[in-house]
């Protein structure tokens, strides 16, 4: 018996309305024109990337490589913070590369009379530098690699083996231009330091933090910036801001003894320029007060 169910109706012809292809649209590209954001993005490529490395390879602009060894856990091993490589050392090393031959300028020291003083940070074969609190010594090595003829890297005796090791690792690049010496800031500069003077530049990188006696640091800087041989040495300091209390503690004392100029950030390396690390040039004041006679004794930081 045949089924009484009628067959289904035929399908309607295709309709362009039902099968219309949606128009193509381009995905919008997000562009951020924010210089501060861009600086932060660039800094993430280098800040702290060395913290867990026993040896860091600093790739110089000319293709050379400086090998910098650090001691992980140095504080727990009684070496203080000097056995570690810090971001400010990387920043100032790149700063040197931006200014072949040296960096110079002038700044106003008396707004009432508009009196200004000129300064020079020479990076030539005849220049003599001394670094305080050198630690891993990257800053001093970079200065020598950029042309400084003599750099004396100083620190506490407990850190001299690390400095010697790093000098030996880079001897082929430094060519004998870097030497090490122990320096207790509570004492006058030892002969191992003084024999290489008079100095053009006193380099201070990452020596402003809570464990450093500020009076001793100023005393050491003043001892090395006494005019001699027709030279008035200048201080080049790299400082990373971590505490407003610490900053005030040190800079209140610095301003009594030095004219201070903050190097504009546009003179830093464009990829190594961050808001919380500054470079300063300091020139001893002729009217500075005497330091207290009872400066605290030097301690291992």
Query: Using CA atoms, how far apart are residues 254 and 256, in angstroms rounded to an integer?
Result: 5
Query: Using CA atoms, how far apart are residues 104 and 127, in angstroms rounded to an integer?
Result: 14
Spell out the residues 6+ positions from residue 26 whose beta carbon is closer than 8 angstroms to its own.
none
pLDDT averaged over every residue in the chain = 89
Per-domain boundaries in the chain:
35-284
Among 140, 137, 129, 104, residue whose Cα is nearest residue 119 = 104
Beta bridge partners of 128: 150
| pLDDT higher than threshold 90 for residue 174 | yes
pLDDT (0 to 100) of residue 298: 47
Is CATH 3.40.50.150 what the domain over 35-284 is classified as, yes or no? yes
CB 56 within 8 A of CB 68: yes
* Tens digit of each residue's pLDDT (9 = 90 or more) over 114-125: 999 999 999 999
| pLDDT higher than threshold 80 for residue 193 | yes
Query: Using CA atoms, how far apart are residues 262 and 280, in angstroms rounded to an integer?
Result: 5
* Tens digit of each residue's pLDDT (9 = 90 or more) over 77-133: 888 889 999 999 999 999 999 999 999 999 999 888 999 999 999 999 999 999 999
CA 115 to chain centre: 30
pTM for the full predicted model: 0.85
Give 163's pLDDT tier (boundaries 50, 70, 90): very high
SS3 of residue 148 by DSSP: coil
Query: Using CA atoms, how far apart are residues 54 and 286, in angstroms rounded to an integer?
Result: 44
DSSP assignment letter at 228:
B
Burial call 95-114: b when 16+ CB within 10 Å, e when fewer: bbbeeeebbeeeeeeeeeee
Among 86, 126, 75, 128, residue whose Cα is nearest residue 274 = 86
Spell out the residues 6+ positions from residue 168 whose beta carbon is closer than 8 angstroms to its own.
none
Exposed/middle/buried for 183, CB within 10 Å: 0-12, 13-18, 19+?
Answer: buried
pLDDT (0 to 100) of residue 13: 64
Among 92, 89, 56, 88, residue whose Cα is nearest residue 71 = 56
DSSP assignment letter at 197:
-
* Tens digit of each residue's pLDDT (9 = 90 or more) over 234-278: 999 999 999 999 999 999 999 999 999 999 999 999 999 999 999
| pLDDT higher than threshold 90 for residue 26 | no
């Amino acid at each position: 018996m045949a089924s009484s169910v009628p067959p289904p109706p035929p399908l309607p012809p295709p309709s362009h309305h039902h099968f219309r292809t949606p128009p193509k649209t381009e995905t919008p590209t997000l562009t951020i024109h924010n210089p501060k954001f861009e600086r932060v993005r660039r800094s993430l490529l280098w800040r702290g990337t060395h913290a867990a490395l026993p040896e860091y390879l600093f790739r110089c602009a000319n293709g050379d490589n400086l090998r910098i060894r650090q001691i992980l856990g140095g504080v727990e091993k009684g070496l203080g913070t000097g056995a570690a490589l810090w971001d400010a050392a990387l920043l100032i090393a790149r700063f040197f590369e931006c200014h072949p031959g040296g960096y110079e300028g002038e700044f106003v020291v008396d707004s009432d009379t508009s009196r200004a003083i000129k300064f020079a940070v020479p990076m030539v074969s005849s220049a003599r530098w001394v670094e305080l609190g050198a630690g891993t010594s990257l800053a001093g090595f970079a200065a020598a690699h950029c042309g400084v003829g003599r750099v004396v890297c100083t620190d506490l005796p407990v850190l001299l083996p690390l400095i010697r090791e790093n000098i030996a690792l880079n001897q082929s690049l430094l060519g004998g231009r870097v030497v090490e010496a122990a320096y207790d800031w509570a004492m006058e500069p030892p002969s191992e330091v003084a024999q290489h003077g008079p100095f053009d530049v006193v380099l201070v990188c990452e020596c402003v933090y809570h464990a450093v006696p500020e009076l001793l640091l100023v005393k050491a800087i003043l001892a090395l910036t006494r005019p001699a041989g027709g030279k008035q040495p200048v201080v080049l300091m790299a400082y990373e801001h971590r505490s407003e209390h610490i900053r005030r503690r040190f800079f209140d004392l610095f301003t009594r003894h030095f004219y201070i100029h903050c190097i504009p950030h546009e003179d830093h390396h464009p990829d190594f320029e961050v808001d919380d690390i500054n470079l300063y040039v300091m020139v001893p004041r002729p009217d500075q007060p005497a330091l207290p006679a009872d400066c605290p004794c030097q301690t291992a930081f």
